[in-house]
Structure formats: C-alpha cells, structure tokens
Amino acid sequence: MIASLIIICSFLTSILSGVFGMAGGLILMGLLAWLLPITTALALHGIIQFASNLWRVILHRGHVAWRVLVTFGVGAAAAMGLFALITFEPAKLYVFLGLGLMPILVWLPERWLRLDASNPWHSLCGGFVSTGLSLVSGVSGPVTDLLFVRTRLNRHEVVATKAVMQAIGHASKVIVYGGVLLSESARASIPLGVTALAITASMAGIMVGSRVLDRLSDAQFQAGRRWIVTVIGIGFLVQAALIAFR
C-alpha cells in the first residue's frame, strides 16, 4: 500500500510541477513525511524530485537561463557545507509547519521584495536560503519563486530555470540524508525497485505536465500557481495543528 501510494503520488504531483514549476513537491513531501520517518522521507523525496527536476531541465533545456545559476549554486553549496557540520533531524511538526507557512510567500506584495534572479547577490542569497529550507522542510519552491518576482522571463524560462535550482536543492538532501536509505530498515520499507518506479512515474508526470503548460497563457500560469499552493499550505497547517495538540 505504501509503495503504491508513493508511486501514484510521484506521477500525479509531477504533473503539477510540470505545469506550474511548484506545488507537486509540496504534496509529495507531505505524503512521505506522513508515511515514513522524517530523514527517510527527506532522502527519498530528494532522489525522486532530483530525477523529476532533471528530466524537466532536459525537456526545457532550450529555455534555461544558465547565467543566473552560477551564483545560486555557490549559495547552495554554502548551505550544504553548513549542514554537513551539524547534526540535525527535523521533527514532523516543524516539517508540516514549514510546508504550511511557505506558500504565504507567494502572496507577498511585489514591492516588498524586489528580487531578481539575474542579480548575482540576489541569486547567491537565494541559493543559500532556499537550499537551507529544503534541508529543513524538504521543499523550497515558494522561496525560489521570490527570485523571479521582477524577472522578465516567460513561463517556460521560469519553469526551466527553477527546475535547475530545485534540482540543486534536492541533490543537497540526497547528499546530507541519502545514507539513511542504505539502512536495513529503510531498504525493508522502501526497496530500490519502488524508488526506481517512483522516479519513472515522476518523469512521466513531467512529460504530461509539459504538454499542459504549452496550452496555458502566462496570466493563467501566474494565477493558478498562487491558489494551488495556498490550498495545499492550509492543509499542511491543519496537519501541523493536529500533531501539536495530539
């Protein structure tokens, strides 16, 4: 049952990510955190989402704004270095709380945060913060979105460039937590075959989502992603409250 849920959810959430460049990872992380120990969930989510985002990069490689990714990568590497020096295991309450609060960021007035991914300092700090949050809560999509508030990139360029950024964040989880998946308990509950099928399902979902993306206007793209992550965030806040008062 757990294996089937993970595989099916990997496919469906990747469709969402393929369309809006976000939201899918939020839902998948929530499911994994509900089903598995947190460090196992973070590691498995990192592997599945890394493959999913890498496939999205390949599909949209002609739209990637590579120039903004160098300093973002430096910031991400700094965050990974920091977490490598400390022993840290997030509690489920804080994971769900982070997943629930993060979508609020998409509603911040643009005048409050005039960020532009093409600004080296903005992308450097964005790489550090978003990768750090990814290591704590499992996702950082809404934070990465803030780097595109003042960008002139179109919807395909946003999805493609953000896919590279997200792949970097998910790779950091594999590096920091990936060893957990090699333990006997993890291999017993999540065999390698299940992980492989989940990765394949996520890649298939990305292809379906890419076809839907081609049919959306830029206005539909921007409006849809805000409401989707908001509804998802409310659901996670309810789950965090249930854990806190259990």
Measuring CA to CA, how many Å separate 58 from each of 64, 92, 237?
Answer: 10, 33, 34
pLDDT one-digit tens code per residue, 126-162? 899 888 888 877 777 767 777 776 667 777 787 788 8
Helices H, strands E: what count in the chain?
11, 0
Q: Evaluate if residue 18 carries a pLDDT over 70.
A: yes
**Running DSSP on this structure, what letter comes out for residue 221?**
H
Nearest to 95 by CA among 220, 236, 246, 238: 236
Torsion of CA 129, 78, 27, 92, to 10 degrees: -90
Q: Evaluate if residue 5 carries a pLDDT over 80.
A: yes
Q: Evaluate if residue 10 carries a pLDDT over 80.
A: yes
What is this structure's pTM? 0.76
Q: What does the alpha-carbon distance between residue 98 and residue 200 come to, in Å, rounded to a whole number? A: 28
Q: What pLDDT sits at residue 197?
A: 93
Kindly indicate the confidence band of residue 110, based on its pLDDT and cuts at 50, 70 and 90: low
SS3 category, 168: helix
- Phi/psi region, residue 23 (left: phi>0; alpha: psi -120 to 50; beta: rest), is left
Contact between 241 and 35 (Cβ < 8 Å): no
Contact between 79 and 172 (Cβ < 8 Å): yes
Q: What does the alpha-carbon distance between residue 30 and residue 102 come to, in Å, rounded to a whole number? A: 13
Q: What pLDDT sits at residue 88?
A: 64
- If one counts the domains in the chain, the total is 1
Q: What pLDDT sits at residue 222?
A: 65
**CA gyration radius for the chain?**
17
Burial of 157 (0-12, 13-18, 19+ CB in 10 A): middle
pLDDT one-digit tens code per residue, 165-218? 888 888 888 888 877 777 777 777 777 888 889 999 988 988 888 888 777 776
Q: What pLDDT sits at residue 7?
A: 92
Q: Evaluate if residue 230 carries a pLDDT over 90.
A: no
Q: How much of the chain is helix, strand and coil, in % rounded to 5?
A: 80, 0, 20
Contact between 10 and 48 (Cβ < 8 Å): yes
Average of per-residue pLDDT values in the chain: 81
CA 2 to chain centre: 21
Domain coverage including residue 37: 2-244
